[in-house]
């Protein structure tokens, strides 16, 4: 019963992944990171990918954004099939937030530069007003505008990374373990922010996490991955009721309680 959710779903799909294979290296060194993954994410839905390290969950996100060049299968974002080159319009639709806020911001660029450059690249003209708005939206405010990453805490950096992802006004956000490097109290703040932004902007989330309780809090449905394959797609209600059917999902569920 893989990929047949029982909960109500929006009719329009934001993301369709069909029989996706991703690999690295060639010939003898070839490693198949993702094998035949298929799932769909509806518009406005929040979908989780869980699994252990090396199960290929982050690789799926990287393949969607074009950071993993070797892939086959079908990927459709907002009705547009993806080929091996991403157009600028794609990045107006899809943005990504990375795991480590310490590594994903340029150490010598101020918050203003980071956001201003992104806005400039996407062709906005009212940059000044937009930077202010973005900082307010992620709960940072004006006083952080001219700070450098080393003057920010981990949670504040992640807020800047989220603001940068929101700058081109995307519809789909790819979240790669957005809170795993943060303390639990800061994690709560960031998760609340993500919930609010999704509601106010009608965003669609594809979220990778190893923490089932975080995915349970954030997502409507999730896919469990093991060794590059999706072993089960289930609704979060089923997860809460401990109704996983695949033995591996059960094992993962038991281990995280």
Partner 1 sequence: MMGTLLDVENLWVKFPSRNGVFDAVRGVSFTLGRERLGIVGESGSGKSMTGRAILRLIRPPGIVEAAQISLDGVDLMKLSEKDMRAVRGQKISMVMQDPKFSLNPVMTIGDQIIEAYRLHNSATKAQAYKKSLEMLEAVSIRDPERVMRAYPHEMSGGMGQRIMIAMMLIPNPEILIADEPTSALDVSVQRQVLDIMDKLVKERGMGLIFISHDLNLVADFCDRVLIMYAGRIVEVCEADKLHEAQHPYTRGLLNSLPRLDMPRDRLAVLQRDPEWSVAPSVSARL
Residue 78 or 220: the one with the smaller Cβ distance to partner 1 is 220
> Least distance from C-beta 189 to partner 1, angstroms?
5
* CA contacts within 13 A on the Cβ side of 65: 19
Residue 72 or 192: the one with the smaller Cβ distance to partner 1 is 192
Closest CA to 16 of 71, 92, 81, 89: 81
State the DSSP code for 151.
G
Distances (CA, A) of 24 to 63, 64, 73, 107, 228: 11, 15, 15, 30, 12
> Least distance from C-beta 161 to partner 1, angstroms?
18
Q: In terms of DSSP bridges, do strands 204-209 and 172-176 run parallel, antiparallel, or are they unpaired?
A: parallel
Q: How far is residue 203's CA from residue 194's CA, in Å, rounded to a whole number?
A: 10
Closest CA to 50 of 212, 216, 244, 241: 212
> Least distance from C-beta 214 to partner 1, angstroms?
6
Q: Which two tokens stand for residue 166?
A: 């929101």
> Least distance from C-beta 195 to partner 1, angstroms?
7
> Least distance from C-beta 40 to partner 1, angstroms?
24
Binder among 11, 53, 123, 200 for partner 1 (CB under 8 A): 53
Q: How far is residue 107's CA from residue 161's CA, in Å, rounded to a whole number?
A: 13
Tokens 């080929």 label which residue? 83
150 binds partner 1 (CB under 8 A): no
> Least distance from C-beta 94 to partner 1, angstroms?
26
Residues in the interface with partner 1 (CB under 8 A) total: 26
Candidates 28-36, 91-99, 118-126, 247-255; binding stretch for partner 1 (CB under 8 A): 247-255
Q: Which two tokens stand for residue 252?
A: 């993962």
CB atoms within 10 A of CB 239: 23
The C-alpha R_g of the chain, in whole angstroms, comes to 18
Q: Segment 164-223, which members bind partner 1 (CB under 8 A)?
A: 183-185, 187-189, 191-192, 195, 210, 212-214, 216-218
Residue 99 or 187: the one with the smaller Cβ distance to partner 1 is 187
Residue 142 or 213: the one with the smaller Cβ distance to partner 1 is 213
User: Would you say 178 and 99 are in contact if contact means Cβ atoms under 8 Å apart?
Assistant: yes
Residue 117 or 237: the one with the smaller Cβ distance to partner 1 is 237
Residue 11 or 184: the one with the smaller Cβ distance to partner 1 is 184
Straight-line distance from the first to the last Cα atom of the chain, in angstroms, rounded to the nearest whole number: 25
Catalog residues that contact partner 1 under the rule CB under 8 A: 52-53, 154, 183-185, 187-189, 191-192, 195, 210, 212-214, 216-218, 239-240, 251-252, 255-257
């Amino acid at each position: 019963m893989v990929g047949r959710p029982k909960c109500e779903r929006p009719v329009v799909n934001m993301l369709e992944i069909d029989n996706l294979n991703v690999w690295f290296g060639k010939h003898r060194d070839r490693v198949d990171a993702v094998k035949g993954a298929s799932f769909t994410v509806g518009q406005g839905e929040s979908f989780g990918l869980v699994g252990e390290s090396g199960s290929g969950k982050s690789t799926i996100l990287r393949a969607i954004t074009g950071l993993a060049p070797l892939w086959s299968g079908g990927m459709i974002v907002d009705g547009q099939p993806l080929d091996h080159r991403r157009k600028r319009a794609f990045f107006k639709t899809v943005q990504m937030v990375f795991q480590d806020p310490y590594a994903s911001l340029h150490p010598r660029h101020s918050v203003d530069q980071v956001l201003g450059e992104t806005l400039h690249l996407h062709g906005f003209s009212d940059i000044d007003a937009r930077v202010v708005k973005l900082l307010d939206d992620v709960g940072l405010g004006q006083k952080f505008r001219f700070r450098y990453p080393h003057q920010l805490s981990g949670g504040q950096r992640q807020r800047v990374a989220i603001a940068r992802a929101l700058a081109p006004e995307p519809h789909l956000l790819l979240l790669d373990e957005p809170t795993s490097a943060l303390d639990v109290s800061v994690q709560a703040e960031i998760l609340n922010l993500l919930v609010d932004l999704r509601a106010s902007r009608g965003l669609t989330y594809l979220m990778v996490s190893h923490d089932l309780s975080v995915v349970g809090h954030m997502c409507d449905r999730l896919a469990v991955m093991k060794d590059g394959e999706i072993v089960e797609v289930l609704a979060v209600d089923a997860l809460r009721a401990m109704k996983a059917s695949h033995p591996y999902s059960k094992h993962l569920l038991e281990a995280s309680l």
